[in-house]
Amino acid sequence: MNNISALFSVLLFSSSLIAAPVSAQQAAEAANTSEPAAAGDTAIKPQPLKIDEIRRFVAVFRAVQQAYVEPVEDSELMQAAIRGLLTDLDPHSAYLTADELASLSEFASGSYAGLGLEVMQQPDRTLVVISPIDDTPAARAGIQPGDIIIEIDGKVIDADSADEAVESMRGEPGTRISMTLMREGESEPISVSLTREIIRVDSVKSRLLEPGYGYLRIATFQSDTGAEVKRHVARLQAEDHTLQGLVIDLRSNPGGLLNAAVEAADAFLDQGLIVSTRGRVPTSKAEYRAAPGDLLDGAPIVILENGGTASASEVLAGALKDHHRAVVMGSVSFGKGSVQNVLPLDNGDAIKLTTARYYTPNGTSIQASGITPDIHLASDLVVKHSGYTPPSIREADLPGHLDNDAPATVGTQNASDIDDFAIREGLNLLKGLAVYRRAASAPGAAGIDNDNDNEE
């Protein structure tokens, strides 16, 4: 019974993890940008497990110990039980081994060994590509959002091998890996061969599209992205002292760190709410607000998005859209409107747990619905001129996804006659906005009245 007793100790411990670690982490993150919790808030006390539930678990655990066709270590059963507890919650909560935790930290820092591929498990446990990261082996091999990975190195991916398949994408630089993909619209599987390399993700790139108009590509949100956004905008302004507008490209940006997205949004907002988060833990109820100062001094912004625009990138798009600070162009974004926290365990492993939903400045949740563009680019024309295939899987398609508790009711302008690549269309729109701004008596676009409720 020693192993069983230890098992219940861990289970009870894991059920109480939310209170202290999340509070400490989120309080640190929100120290300078969020409001304190309401005076009456108290920490959530975990409910004790019912004795019948404990007995049922013991019965299953013992049955596996004694009767499974092959012997299984108690530690393996324990890890499987915790994984099941988390993965059945929603698509984003997970158990992380020490190696997986290290990989996650490497990705957030912008340097790791692998392919540069963001994937997610489907209901049948096959792997769907959310997006390849710019200038990585995956992007150079032509892998597209929506591709389904069915084999890696000749091994078919099934329910038992999906986790192993994800891990196999990482490895020593210079080693090769082969994949077989299914792609919408293709009748035959596609085979690709890739070479692993050190992925150093430049999360931000920039260039002048033509005199007076800049282009900012944000590929992912990592620890230095906010500072990089400011550096690149300053570089564009130094290169062209008459910068009249900016295209921000968030297409196929899978997201990343919430604080990085907040810092990027703050760079273009002079005041007001950027994003709020709400969950069951009091300190998950945070508000992130802009500090005075707009790097572009109100010059117009066009944001490009698509079905691969997810998570932190939706925070940026939603903030600038709600403040009427940017016009959003493209197709509906992925719709991941939840926040995950990584909570370390005493054995070096960790759990990644969904602790809150986030809300745009207007109080809208984009969970399972996405950011609706102001101007919708017809997808068949985008494919024709860019070669980009929209992903077939979005947050709303994932099993166990969180419901949307505050949906938007915003209409869109259809631009079905658009016949050019999205960046060019963004530039054309930017020029029109710049002309209007010069002609208008009041500089800049209208902000949000944060003292009143907004209705569309």
Is 311 catalytic? The answer is: yes
Residue 231 token pair: 């550096």
Predicted local distance difference test score (pLDDT) of residue 127: 87
| pTM, full prediction | 0.74
Predicted local distance difference test score (pLDDT) of residue 228: 98
Predicted local distance difference test score (pLDDT) of residue 135: 86
Predicted local distance difference test score (pLDDT) of residue 227: 97
CATH of domain 111-200: 2.30.42.10
In the structure, what pLDDT confidence band is assigned to residue 19 with cuts at 50, 70 and 90? very low
Predicted local distance difference test score (pLDDT) of residue 123: 59
> Over 50: is that where the pLDDT of 4 sits?
no
Mean pLDDT across 114-123: 81
Cα–Cα dist 367/370, whole Å: 6
Question: Residue 23 CA to chain centroid, in angstroms?
Answer: 22
Inter-CA distances, 72 with 4, 61, 85, 261, Å: 14, 11, 19, 44
In the structure, what pLDDT confidence band is assigned to residue 438 with cuts at 50, 70 and 90? confident
Is 322 catalytic? The answer is: yes
Predicted local distance difference test score (pLDDT) of residue 119: 85
- For 362-387, the pLDDT digits (tens) are 999 999 999 999 999 875 444 444 44
Those residues with Cβ within 8 angstroms of residue 238's Cβ, 6 or more apart along the chain or in another chain: none
- For 229-281, the pLDDT digits (tens) are 999 999 999 999 889 999 999 998 989 999 999 999 999 999 999 999 999 99
Question: What is the enclosing helix (H) or strand (E) of 108?
Answer: helix 98-109
Those residues with Cβ within 8 angstroms of residue 181's Cβ, 6 or more apart along the chain or in another chain: 129, 143, 147, 148, 149, 150, 189, 190, 191, 192
- In this structure, the number of other CB atoms found within 10 A of the CB of residue 148 comes to 20
Predicted local distance difference test score (pLDDT) of residue 421: 65
Q: What is the mean pLDDT of the chain?
A: 81
Angle of helix 2-15 relative to helix 74-87, nearest 10 degrees? 20
* Range among 33-47, 146-160, 189-203 with highest mean pLDDT value: 189-203
Cα–Cα dist 270/298, whole Å: 9
> Over 70: is that where the pLDDT of 310 sits?
yes
Cα–Cα dist 285/276, whole Å: 7
Cα–Cα dist 372/321, whole Å: 10
Indicate the domain borders of the chain: 2-35+49-96, 111-200, 204-439
Cα–Cα dist 40/42, whole Å: 6
Looking at per-residue pLDDT, the higher value among 18 and 377 belongs to: 377
Cα–Cα dist 253/153, whole Å: 27
Catalytic residue among 252, 311, 313, 333: 311
Mean pLDDT across 177-196: 95
Those residues with Cβ within 8 angstroms of residue 295's Cβ, 6 or more apart along the chain or in another chain: 230, 233, 234, 237, 267, 268
Is 230 catalytic? The answer is: no
Looking at per-residue pLDDT, the higher value among 57 and 405 belongs to: 57
Q: Are 228 and 204 a contacting pair, CB within 8 Å?
A: yes
In the structure, what pLDDT confidence band is assigned to residue 5 with cuts at 50, 70 and 90? very low
Q: Over pLDDT 70: what percentage of the chain?
A: 77
Cα–Cα dist 345/350, whole Å: 5
Those residues with Cβ within 8 angstroms of residue 55's Cβ, 6 or more apart along the chain or in another chain: none
The dihedral built from the CA positions of residue 294, 296, 297 and 298, taken in this order, carries a sign that is: negative
Query: 111-200 and 204-439 share one CATH topology?
Result: no
Predicted local distance difference test score (pLDDT) of residue 283: 82
In the structure, what pLDDT confidence band is assigned to residue 47 with cuts at 50, 70 and 90? confident
Q: Are 111 and 103 a contacting pair, CB within 8 Å?
A: no
Predicted local distance difference test score (pLDDT) of residue 31: 29
Cα–Cα dist 139/132, whole Å: 5
Predicted local distance difference test score (pLDDT) of residue 347: 92
Cα–Cα dist 206/249, whole Å: 10
Predicted local distance difference test score (pLDDT) of residue 418: 30
Predicted local distance difference test score (pLDDT) of residue 161: 76
Instruction: Compute the CA torsion angle 271, 456, 358, 94 (nearest 10 deg).
Output: -150
Those residues with Cβ within 8 angstroms of residue 118's Cβ, 6 or more apart along the chain or in another chain: 129, 130, 131, 132, 133, 254
Question: What is the enclosing helix (H) or strand (E) of 229?
Answer: helix 225-239
**Burial letters 57-70, b for 16+ CB under 10 A, else e:** beeebeeeeeeeee
Predicted local distance difference test score (pLDDT) of residue 121: 74
Catalytic residue among 313, 322, 369, 431: 322
3-state secondary structure of 259: helix
Predicted local distance difference test score (pLDDT) of residue 43: 57
> Over 70: is that where the pLDDT of 441 sits?
no
- For 393-426, the pLDDT digits (tens) are 556 656 566 777 766 643 333 333 333 468 989 9
N-terminal to C-terminal alpha carbon distance within the chain: 61
Which residue in 392, 349, 397 sits closest to 369, CA to CA?
397
Mean pLDDT across 423-430: 92
Looking at per-residue pLDDT, the higher value among 32 and 244 belongs to: 244
Catalytic residue among 336, 352, 365, 431: 336
> Over 70: is that where the pLDDT of 455 sits?
no
At the top level of CATH, which class does the domain 204-439 belong to? alpha beta
